Amino acid sequence: MTYQSHSEFTSQLSLAEQTSLLALLGQRLSDDTQSQSDQTRDIYAQLSAVSSTVRETVSNASDDLLQVSDAMDVLLDLLDNAASVPVSGAKLHCLIAPLKGRLDAVTREMSALV
């Protein structure tokens, strides 16, 4: 069974709340279109686009981190069995370098959101 940390749960609630509030705002804007200005609708459209981008970026980062975590589990298993199956430093470097690259990319993407 997988457990979520408090920060993961809070982040998911925040994104869900943001989505819910934007949907409510969109509904109110469409219900009362005559009294709403074009600028208000434009701001709503921009907020919706930002929200979508944030959700997509976080989802992609989460997928990448899960894949890196799985790969790290395999590396740890390999190291646990290193006595019976020796692995050279060069081979380990070939396994770890792409993982480091993915972690760096996810870090840059998440930092760009802040």
**pLDDT tens, 41-62?**
788 888 888 888 888 888 899 9
Distance of CA 91 to the CA centre of its chain: 30
Residue 81 has what DSSP assignment?
T
Mean pLDDT of 74-101: 87
The whole-number pLDDT of residue 104 equals: 94
High-pLDDT (> 70) share of the chain, %: 83
Measured CA to CA, the distance from residue 95 to residue 72 in angstroms comes to 9
**Which of 12-16, 29-33, 100-104, 106-110 ranks highest by mean pLDDT?**
100-104
10 has pLDDT over 80 = no
Among 10, 17, 24, 18, smallest CA distance to 49 is for 18
**pLDDT tens, 61-83?**
999 999 999 999 988 888 888 78
